[in-house]
Every structure is written in structure tokens, then in C-alpha cells.
Structure 1
Amino acid sequence: MSSSVLTQLGSGIRHPRTLLALKTALAVGLAWSVAPHLPGSASDYPYYGPLGALISMHPTLMRSITTGLRTLAGLVIGMLLAATVIIFAEPNVVTISLVVGAGVLVAGARWLGAGSDTVPTAVLFVLIIGGPNADSYSVGYLVQMTAGILIGLAVNMLIFPPLTVGSARDQLARFRASLADQLDDMAQVLRESWPPEHEDWATRGTQLATVADDVRTALQAASDSRRINPRTRLRRNRHDLTRDYEDLAAFERITFHVRDITDVLANAVWGTEVRIDLDPEVCDVLSDAFTSISPTLRSWDEPTRSAALEEARSTLATVGARAQRAGEKPGSGMNPASVIALDLSRILAVVDDRQPE
């Protein structure tokens, strides 16, 4: 087998989803092997052990723990609700329906989270499957689920516990590159004859906002993956995400201004929402401004950032003066060049506020 094939195979196995699938399969297999040997009535219900293991397997250790605990809490609550029927009445169509409805109401408690669905399920299982042996069934059900969840947590913690910091930072870098690409694409539009041959840049505003939301979700997951994770003790994994959250906030502010520029330029080209007349004399200098600011984003963490910032400041000063002169022409009306120049200045201000490490 060639080295390239081995490398691809290794990368595939290390992929988070593949690794989670392999660990889940292992946990379920271990739980099924252990289940028949649990003491008492638990051994009569071995199928709940693998179910507990499956429920406990999640991309982060913290989520695995919280999901497991909430599932067990939901089971206990459901069993207590079922016990009220057994103690004070008898299982029939009316009592089962009422107590399941009560379980659904209780499941609405926000703190139960992922365990909310188990409340009415536990009620139904205890009363219908457990029947006359509801007490032993409840004990066996709970013991098997607990054992399965513990096995799942052990597997998730001992075998490459998930740490998604690198993936989140990669998404953040791609987000920054997307903002720079959008500025470069609009710079090209300003130098082309209108209408331009490509239109994809004009519809990227909403996409950039969606990417920002996805990156924030990824950073939150990365932060969650660091909690109680033994891998964070290694020096290479001690990265503090505070800086990344600050960068994301900066990129979100930049996105607002990039979207505003995109709307102004799209209306200047096609007049889809409102007719905007952009003075052809400022198109070239605006294009230069776009291409001077995009390198400040691309060199965000690089030594060349200072030089890029200095060049962008100089170019924007020229843009501001030209845009003002264009707005002073008789009958010029709305001055879109000044609007774009203002947004560019605000983008540069956000970049400038970022302190080097």
C-alpha cells in the first residue's frame, strides 16, 4: 500500500465524524458485552446498555456528560411519574394517557435539555413494558442505561477525546479570507464595463452573515471541547480562545460594512432597489482602496500587517478627497462614493484597533 493511500486513510480515520463513529461502535459493543453480566434484574434488560452508550456519545466530552446526566434525570422523573399511577391507581387507557401528558409537560423544563424526551418515554415504557413487574423493570432499565452511559463516557474520554479548537480557528481564517475576497471581487467590478460578467459577488452579503454565525457556533463548540478535556494539558493544546472571539467580533463588524458596500455597489450597477449613480471618475480610486484594504485582512497575524495598514491609510485619504469633490458637482445628488469611502474607513478602523500579539 502506497504512502499516499496510508496518509489518506489516516486522515479519514482522524476526521471528527469518523472518529466519533468508531468510538460509538466500540462503546455500544462494550456495553452489549457487559450488559448480560450486570447484577439483579438489570441482566434481564441488556438492550438498554447499548442505548445508554449511544446516547452518551457526542462530539465533546462536556456535552457527553451533560447529555448523560440529563438523560438519567429524565428517566428518574419519568419513573416517579409512572410510580404514582401504580401506587394510587392502576394502568389503563385514561391513567396512562394522563401521566404521559404530565410527562410531556415536565419535559418542557429547560434544564432537562436533551433529557426531556426521556421523561414521557420512561413513563410509557415502565407502565406498558414493565407492567406487573414495573419495579424490577425500572431498576433494570435505570442500571443498564447508567452502565451504558458510563461506558460511553469512558470511551469518549480515554480514546482521543475530541478537541475542535483547530477546526474552529480554520473556519475563522476562512471567514477572514472570504471578506478579503469580497473586497477584491468588488475592486474588479469597479474596473470592468457594466454590467459585469459575474454577479456572484452581489449576493454574498447574506452568505457572509451566515458564515459568521457558523464560525461563532464552531468557536463555542471548541470552547466546550476544552472543558475537562485531558488533552488541554499538553502544551500544543493550551490555546486561549479569547483572542479568537475578539477576532470574530471584529470580522462581524467588518461584515456589516462589507454588506453595506455590496448593496450600494449592486444598486449602482443594476439599480435593483434604488437607482444610484456612481461617478466613473472615482471608480478607479475606489478600486484601489478595496485592493489596499484586503491585504490588511490577509496579513491579520503576519509581520507585513503594519506595512499593509500604512498603504491602506494613504489610499483611503485619496479616496476621501476624490469622493468629496465628486459630491460637490452640480446635480450630483446622493454621493455613493462618500458612502463607500466611509464604510471602508470604518473597516480600516476595525483592523487598526486590533492589537498585535
Structure 2
Amino acid sequence: MARSPFAARRRRVAGAVRTARGEVFATSRLVLALKTAIAAAVAWYLAPLVPFADAEYSYYAPLGVLVAMYPTVVDSARSGLLALVGLACGIALGLGGLGLVALGAPGIVAVAVVVGVGVAVGGIRALDAGRDWIAIAGLFVLLLGGRETEEFSSSYIATMAFGVLVGVVANLLLFPPVYLREAAERLSELRGDLEAELRLMADMVDAGRVDGDRLARASDHLAALAAAVADDVHEAARSRRANPRARRLDDLDEENERRWWALERSAFLTRDIADMLAHHAGLVDNSAGPLAHALRRTADVVATPLGDPAAEPRLDEAQAAIDAYTATVPHDAERRLSSLRPELAVAAALGRLTEISRPFV
């Protein structure tokens, strides 16, 4: 028993390492890394040819590529543009700092003013990716501009702009990413977790003992996965914009959106059922068998993939199991069913889970 906390930590660390390894070696990530490497090399090689820029500052071109290279084409263009806006603001701020020095202010005061104002202006949310560049660019101009401030400033922004352009063009021409299939796989992963939690609850009800802590951990994992899948689905939708490779995948995008709508609500309902099971012991004491059966039949429906011919009979079986469980709920003294009873809340949530799946039959 004394070694169990260490074993639990080791499992968590091992899981985190496996997750990190999967993220690093994911195909989409490796493709992005290869495109970024190619674009940075091209930008470095061609930077000396950029007009209004000194070849001495060619190293800013690969930096511009890094600023612009995002997983989707539209995000690359937007991020690059906003970064340039932030750079322009920072350069103006740095020139203002040099003006303070020229008027006799100590250098330490100029640095404090530039950094302070840059961080404050970086609070403008609309600048997004350009927010962090304001203070950095201002400090660069103040500390590195020296006597050649005008040359440094023009070279800085021109070379960075060239790098941004190379990054956006590379993202557009070199296998422009479309993440719709990856999003579909993540939706299937979420569906699998929903099924697993419903079956876990059924097993606990059958055993006559609900482990509230274990259900809470499963629900937290489900919530975290749902949030991650939401990001993946939205990123997949963004990857279609300005992307010639996405023209043939409109149906898949629509399917992903419909599945996400259903799974998002299903995740909420499943967590709600888990919470009620954890806090109402009577749910297990009164109707354990019918409830476990209803949970398993609902899990069967949730696990059914699109187009499966077994979907219709599974829906009917789930509805019959939910009705059978509802029939076991005791009435009050006047033979009425109170809408506040947790048994009815669970039955309603299971029925809603089934109905959400019905349009996909």
C-alpha cells in the first residue's frame, strides 16, 4: 500500500511521456516541421535580395517564417499580419525611446519606458499574435539601433515581412493542411470515452457500490477530452479556408460539425448522470438491475458508428430499457411521480442521450 502513491505518479508520468511522444511524432506535426524548416532555409537564402533591407539583418527572415508558420493557412496569414502590426508599433515605440535618450534622459529610464509601454499596449486583445512583439521590437530598436537606427528599423521590418510572406506561401503550396480526417478520429475517440464511462457506471450499479472518486476522475477526463476535441474540430474547420485541398471534403466537414454537436451534449449528459450516481445512493439501492441494463443499452447506442445497420434495433432496445427503468421508480402517496426525483432525472438524461443519437441512424 505504501508504494501505491509512487506507482500512481509513475503511471501519470509514463502516460504524459506517451502523450508527448505521440504529439511530437504525429504526422501533421512532422509535416509542419518539415515545411517550416524548408521555408526558413529559403527565407535565409533569399533575404539579402530583399529591397530596403541590409543583408546584415538576414537572420530576421527565418524568424518571420516562425512567426507565420501555423497549422492552418488562414492562421498563418492572420498571425503573420498581426505580428507585423505589432513589430511596427514596437519600432515606433523604440524610436520614441531613442528620442528620450536624445533629449538627455538616462538609458535606464528609456528602457523602462519602452518595456512598460510595450507591455501595456500588448494588452490589446485585437492584436493577438502581435501583442508580444511590441515590447520586444521596441527594446531591439532601442538597444541595437544605435547610430543606424533608421537602417536597422527598415531592415528589421522588411526582412521579417519577407519571412512572413515566405512562411505563408510555403504553408499554402507545400501540402496545405486539412485536419478534417484527424478531427473525425478525435470525435470517435470522444465517442469511445462516452461509451466507456456509461459502461463503468453500469458495472458499478451492478456491483451495488458506486466509487464517487473514480467517477469524478472519469468525468474530469471526459470534460478535458471534450475541450481538446472542440479545439481540434474548430481547427479542422479553419484549415478548409483558403485551402485548395479542402474542396472535396465539404461533406466530411459537415459530418464533423453534426457529430460534435451531438457528442458535446452527450458528454454533458453523461457527466450529469455520473454526478447523480455519485451523490444519490438510492439510485443503486432501489432499481439496480434495470438501471444497469438501461446504461448498457444506451452505451450501445452511443458506440454505434455512422451508417451501422444495427443502429435502429439498438435505439429501440435502449428506449425499451429506459422505459423499463422508469417504470420501477416508486410513486408518492398520491400515485404521482415527482419531477425532483433523481431516478427520473437519470432516466430523462438517458432518454436524451438516445434521442441525440437518433438523427445519425
TM-score tier by shorter-chain length is 0.7 to 0.9
Question: Relative to structure 2, which stretch is displaced further, 207-216 or 40-49?
Answer: 40-49
Residues 324 and 338, structure 1, Cα contact 8 Å, conserved in 2: no
How many angstroms apart in 2 are the aligned matches of 1:101 and 1:306?
64
2:243 corresponds to 1:229 = yes
Structure 2 residues not aligned, in runs of 5+:
1-23
* Residue number among 137, 143, 161 corresponding to 1:146 in the alignment: 161
Question: Relative to structure 2, which stretch is displaced further, 123-132 or 89-98?
Answer: 89-98
Q: What is the aligned-residue identity percentage?
A: 32
Could you say which residue in structure 2 is the equivalent of 1:127? Answer: 142
Residues 278 and 335, structure 1, Cα contact 8 Å, conserved in 2: no
Q: 1:284 Cα deviation (Å)?
A: 1.2
How many angstroms apart in 1 are the aligned matches of 2:272 and 2:111?
58
Q: 1:239 Cα deviation (Å)?
A: 3.3
Residues 42 and 143, structure 1, Cα contact 8 Å, conserved in 2: no
Question: CA RMSD of the aligned region, Å?
Answer: 2.8
Name the SS of the counterpart of 1:162 in structure 2: coil
* Residue number among 297, 313, 332 corresponding to 1:307 in the alignment: 313
2:306 corresponds to 1:294 = no
Letter in 2 for 1:97: A
- Length-normalised TM-score, structure 1: 0.83
Q: How does 1:174-323 map to 2 (within 5 A)?
A: 174-192=189-207, 194=209, 200-201=214-215, 203-233=217-247, 235=248, 237-239=249-251, 241-267=253-279, 276-278=281-283, 280=285, 282-301=287-306, 302-323=308-329
Q: 1:355 Cα deviation (Å)?
A: 5.5
Report the CA distance shift for 1:190/1:147 in structure 2 as closer, same or farther (over 3 A): same
Report the CA distance shift for 1:283/1:144 in structure 2 as closer, same or farther (over 3 A): same
Q: 1:99 Cα deviation (Å)?
A: 3.3
Question: Relative to structure 2, which stretch is displaced further, 208-217 or 96-105?
Answer: 96-105
Q: How does 1:98-137 map to 2 (within 5 A)?
A: 98-137=113-152
Could you say which residue in structure 2 is the equivalent of 1:160? Answer: 175
- 1:28-53 Cα deviation digits (max 9, x unpaired): 11112112343454212111111111
- 1:240-298 Cα deviation digits (max 9, x unpaired): 53443333232232223222222233345xxxxxxx23465621111111121112112
Question: Relative to structure 2, which stretch is displaced further, 310-319 or 255-264?
Answer: 255-264
How many angstroms apart in 1 are the aligned matches of 2:180 and 2:326?
41
Could you say which residue in structure 2 is the equivalent of 1:343? Answer: 349
Letter in 1 for 2:323: A
Letter in 2 for 1:343: A
Structure 1 residues not aligned, in runs of 5+:
1-11, 269-275
Letter in 1 for 2:299: S
How many angstroms apart in 1 are the aligned matches of 2:97 and 2:60?
23
Aligned length: 331
Letter in 1 for 2:240: R
Q: 1:24 Cα deviation (Å)?
A: 1.4
Residues 13 and 19, structure 1, Cα contact 8 Å, conserved in 2: no
Name the SS of the counterpart of 1:324 in structure 2: coil
Q: 1:65 Cα deviation (Å)?
A: 0.8
Residues 208 and 288, structure 2, Cα contact 8 Å, conserved in 1: no
Residues 163 and 222, structure 1, Cα contact 8 Å, conserved in 2: yes
How many angstroms apart in 1 are the aligned matches of 2:266 and 2:357?
9
Name the SS of the counterpart of 1:323 in structure 2: coil
How many angstroms apart in 2 are the aligned matches of 1:40 and 1:104?
29
How many angstroms apart in 2 are the aligned matches of 1:140 and 1:60?
28
Could you say which residue in structure 2 is the equivalent of 1:4? Answer: none
* Residue number among 91, 94, 102 corresponding to 1:82 in the alignment: 94
* Residue number among 65, 69, 77 corresponding to 1:57 in the alignment: 69
Name the SS of the counterpart of 1:116 in structure 2: helix
Report the CA distance shift for 1:61/1:195 in structure 2 as closer, same or farther (over 3 A): closer
2:39 corresponds to 1:27 = yes
Residues 65 and 153, structure 1, Cα contact 8 Å, conserved in 2: yes
